Amino acid sequence: MEKILKKYETIFTIGLIIIYVVANSYIMQNFGYISYQSAIVNTILSILILALIILAKQLKHYGITKVNNPKKFLYFIPLCIISLFNLRNGIHINNPSGEIICHIITMINVGFLEEIIFRGFLFKMMEKDNAKTAIIVSSLTFGIGHIVNLLNGADLIPTLLQLCYAIAIGYMLVIVFYKSKSLIPCIIFHGVFNALSIFSSGDSNVVTTIILIAMCLGYAIYINKSDKT
């Protein structure tokens, strides 16, 4: 399995992106992210991809490993703060407990899936040729991928704002992965950030988007300057 994955890494990567986007677009259009169908499908996808990586003995390669020196990354405290951004106006419970549970399960899995696909497979596939290009492509692909929300009925302005801060978040996370060699902090951040969105008071505006972008870029710049490896 290890040889097959390495030989057809590009095909696997493109295939995973297509499967993930198509599956979640179908779910969003027909059931929504706060449905048990979404929780089940994304959990199954997570298990299958994790099983593939384990069988191929590529856990460390794709970042499923511990961080050797968390001090260099300020113990990821900035990441923890940013992950709570959706609670900036307090906690608002507007959904039944069943929907909240399904949403949290879905978002934990989405956090894993998007990190392993965009930061794991896509970035590692391109890094061996040019790390800088891999960073740019991973960030832009992750951010622009949110444009698919328009096809699922989302409003234009909130989606464009989401696209902007998603690129910044994508850049921050790929820098964290590139420098720490671990995807674990990125997966945890992504899952928590998305899961807490159900308790948010509403969509981001231009001001909050700029603040979020500044926080993400600031942390990424700090990591780049403090770790020259």
| DSSP character string of 127-146 | HTT-HHHHHHHHHHHHHHGG
Contact predicate 27/37, CB 8 Å: yes
Q: Taking the alpha carbons of 107, 109, 112, 114 in that order, is the dihedral positive or negative?
A: negative
pTM, rounded to two decimals: 0.91
Between 32 and 115, the higher pLDDT residue: 115
Reply yes or no on whether the pLDDT at 153 is more than 70.
no
pLDDT digits (tens, 9 = 90+) for 84-142: 999 988 999 989 999 999 999 999 999 999 999 989 999 999 998 899 999 999 999 88
Domain total of the chain: 1
Its domain, for residue 199, covers 2-226
